[in-house]
């Protein structure tokens, strides 16, 4: 049986920073992703986890337009975005691989309702704004805004994933040869209550969910594809430099932005510490990243990565 690769697609890889959040722009990037994943699927059983930051933020803006209806909570909006992006990915993958089985699972993930992020939001959602636009929206909607590179974006709570409730279905489909789209947007956050599971107001980071999924599936590789071609030190400065081969120990010496590269580095570090090999790279170079010809390779020993630079 083929080995397992968990492929995490960033919400910003599917909708680039600064792009209009249109269906056409998302579809163009999803077509690129489908081609890259189709190549990977020739050698691996593939589970795809996708981000939803730009998309769920857009849906929440649309949600606010209904003045006489109370806004839907973030867990429900996350489920909506998971279905939307999952449908688009499944359709384009099937177009590229017409003889393959592709399944999308709306995935519930247990979190702690008292997670510290509920008081200190860090997860970027929605489109990017300039300073003036961000200030007006923050005041009008009681949002928290933080800088994301050259832009400003809304941030929301991002509780850490504890358990994937639908992992049995994911395992069954992978075992049957399906390409599985799951844990979309990090999954739908739920927590235990006296009356069963209930939704949590937040958005789970998809990279952390992808790592949890990879560990539970005992995957061979974890691949995080985004709009950055590698992990960089001193990002955005004249001294920026890419890390092509690295280890969890080396990465622990540096700090990375909490709302963007930070969770990705945390995710690949966690998976590498479990004995797997993890990668971060650009969406359009997915197969090259997995083949260690591009991007950043993370493992317990640098020698285990064979990246050509």
Annotated catalytic residue 123: yes
| List 11, 57, 186, 259, catalytic entry | 11
H or E element, residue 94: helix 74-96
Annotated catalytic residue 10: no
| List 10, 51, 63, 123, catalytic entry | 123
Distance, in Å, from the CA atom of 84 to the CA atom of 96, rounded to the nearest integer, reads 19
User: Which residue is listed with tokens 């961000």?
Assistant: 134
Annotated catalytic residue 171: no
Annotated catalytic residue 11: yes
**Can you tell me whether residue 132 is helix, strand or coil?**
helix
CA dihedral 216, 222, 227, 231 (to 10 degrees): 120
| List 264, 281, 286, 295, catalytic entry | 264
Q: What share of the chain is helix, strand, coil (3-state, %, to 5)?
A: 40, 25, 35
| List 12, 29, 52, 63, catalytic entry | 12
User: What is the three-state SS of 13-72?
Assistant: HHCCCCCCCCHHHHHHHHHHHHHHHHHHHCCCEEEEEECCHHHHHHHHHHHHCCCCCCCC
* Beta bridge mates, 102: 179
| List 51, 160, 184, 206, catalytic entry | 206
| Residues recognised as catalytic | 11-12, 123, 206, 264
């Amino acid at each position: 049986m083929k080995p397992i690769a968990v492929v995490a697609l960033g919400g910003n890889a599917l909708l680039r920073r600064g792009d209009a959040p249109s269906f056409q722009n998302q579809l163009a990037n999803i077509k690129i992703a489908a081609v890259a994943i189709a190549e990977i699927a020739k050698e691996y059983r593939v589970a795809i986890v996708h981000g939803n930051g730009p998309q769920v933020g857009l849906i929440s803006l649309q949600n606010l337009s209904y003045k006489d209806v109370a806004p839907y909570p973030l867990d429900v909006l996350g489920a909506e975005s998971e279905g939307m992006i999952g449908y688009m990915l499944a359709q384009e993958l099937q177009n590229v691989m017409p003889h393959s089985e592709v399944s999308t699972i709306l995935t519930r993930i247990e979190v702690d309702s008292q997670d510290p992020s509920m008081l200190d939001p860090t997860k970027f959602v929605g489109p990017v704004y300039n300073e003036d636009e961000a200030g007006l929206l923050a005041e009008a909607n009681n949002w928290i805004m933080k800088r994301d590179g050259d832009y400003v974006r809304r941030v929301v709570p991002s509780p850490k994933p504890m358990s994937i409730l639908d992992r049995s279905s994911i395992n069954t489909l992978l075992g049957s040869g399906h390409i599985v789209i799951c844990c979309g947007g990090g999954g739908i956050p739920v927590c235990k209550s006296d009356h069963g599971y209930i939704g949590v107001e937040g958005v789970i980071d998809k990279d952390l969910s992808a790592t949890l999924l990879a560990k539970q599936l005992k995957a061979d590789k974890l691949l995080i594809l985004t709009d950055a071609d590698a992990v960089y030190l001193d990002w955005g400065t004249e001294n920026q430099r890419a890390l092509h081969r690295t280890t969890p120990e080396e990465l622990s010496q540096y700090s990375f932005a909490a709302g963007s590269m930070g969770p990705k580095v945390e995710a690949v570090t966690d998976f590498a510490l479990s004995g797997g090999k993890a990668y971060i790279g650009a969406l359009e170079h997915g197969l090259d990243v997995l083949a260690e010809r591009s991007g950043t390779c993370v493992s317990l020993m640098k020698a285990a990565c064979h990246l050509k630079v």
